Amino acid sequence: MKLAVVGVTGLVGRMILKVLEEHAFPVNQLFPVASPKSIGQMVRFHEKVFRVTDHLEAIREKPDIAIFSAGSCVSREWAPRYAEAGIRVIDNSSAWRMDPAVPLIVPEINAHILTPDHTIIANPNCSTIQLVLVLAPLHARYTVKRVVVSTYQSVSGTGARGVRQLENERKGIAGEMAYPHQIDLNLFPHGGAFQENGYTAEEMKLVDETRKILNDPTIMVSPTIVRVPVLVGHAEAVNIEFAGSCDIREVCSLLSDTPGVVIQDDVQHNLYPMPILAEGKDEVFVGRIRADDSRDHCINLFIVSDNLRKGAATNAVQIADYLRRHVLR
């Protein structure tokens, strides 16, 4: 197995290497790739040191899989060139997610649709991954009609710039602003550029990607993105309306049996999902599961996941592992 990691020096790129090690993903040859300013730097993987290289050198080496986490512009330019060379691309940006020819994959839900003909595979947005992992079993059982979701997204979702801004503000240091406002001791309903419909780009990702992954364009999604002064871990308050009645005990049972989902719901002992409990873990945590007393056929719940892991690196590595086991034969 020859593997390239594109954007290896970024927050998610470094996390991909960490997850590959932890999951014992079999890499015989690693090709770390980054922007021109990072070429020549050294990265460590499995107690070995590797030199960061450029795209052309990586393509010449013909890796089996290339995991991209370098932004949409890089992915749009380079993913097709890797694919043309016979390299499977797993892309963590938004560049290819809504392309009808590109599968959008959360392995626990829809990895089975992957075939040898798929040369570019899209990794969903971090907030979408944790949402659909909870919605999928409930949609299969009850049919989801409408989802109202408010996210509370950590600064690492913006990358190193967001983390630096928060850390600088906490230390009283003036520095580069990743956001239009102070984030320390603050929060604001803004993630991504505002669109003509009044929603942000990040909010529309939740709408479009949820429908594509669950293969149901009729699901209505009403999202609000909120950025919060947390380093790692995205949280979501979710209201779900079903086509008919549902049973809370069965909902809990369905979610307990869903791979990758962990229920944390013991309010008598103040146990519920929190970013501080999810950090460093691959699972999606769900709690505060309860009926919505204001509306029929509705429930409320709270979802938390480490956005750098399951929301990005872990999901990509899981896709790579599925390709290795079932497609690249």
Q: Where are the alpha helices (DSSP H) in the chain?
A: 11-22, 55-60, 72-84, 107-110, 126-142, 160-171, 201-213, 248-256, 275-278, 314-322
Question: Rounded to whole angstroms, how far apart are CA atoms 239 and 297?
Answer: 11
Question: Rounded to whole angstroms, how far apart are CA atoms 73 and 328?
Answer: 27
Among 252, 255, 241, which residue's Cα sits nearest to residue 292? 241
CATH 3.40.50.720 domain residues, the chain: 2-124+312-327
Write out the H or E segment, with its range, that includes residue 69.
none
Express each pLDDT in 299-316 by its tens digit. Answer: 999 999 999 999 999 999
pLDDT band at 256 (very low <50, low <70, confident <90, very high): very high
Give the model's pLDDT for residue 1. 94
Q: What is the mean pLDDT of the chain?
A: 97
Stated pTM of the model: 0.96
Say which of 55, 118, 126, 246 is annotated catalytic.
126
CATH 3.30.360.10 domain residues, the chain: 127-307
pLDDT at 6 over 90: yes
Name, in order, each residue with C-beta under 8 angstroms of 172's C-beta and a sequence gap of 6 or more. Answer: none
Give the model's pLDDT for residue 157. 95
The CATH architecture assigned to 127-307 reads 2-Layer Sandwich (3.30)
Average of per-residue pLDDT across 313-320? 98
Sequential DSSP letters for 283-319: SEEEEEEEE-TTSTTEEEEEEEE-TTIIIIIHHHHHH
| Domain 2-124+312-327 falls under CATH 3.40.30.10 | no
pLDDT band at 329 (very low <50, low <70, confident <90, very high): confident
Express each pLDDT in 10-51 by its tens digit. Answer: 999 999 999 999 999 999 999 999 999 999 999 999 989 999
Express each pLDDT in 125-144 by its tens digit. Answer: 999 999 999 999 999 999 99
23 is catalytic: no
Say which of 55, 118, 139, 234 is annotated catalytic.
234
What are residue 50's phi and psi, to 5 degrees?
-125, 140
Express each pLDDT in 62-105 by its tens digit. Answer: 999 999 999 999 999 999 999 999 999 999 999 999 999 999 99
Average of per-residue pLDDT across 147-165? 97
Express each pLDDT in 179-208 by its tens digit. Answer: 999 999 999 999 999 999 999 999 999 999
269 is catalytic: no
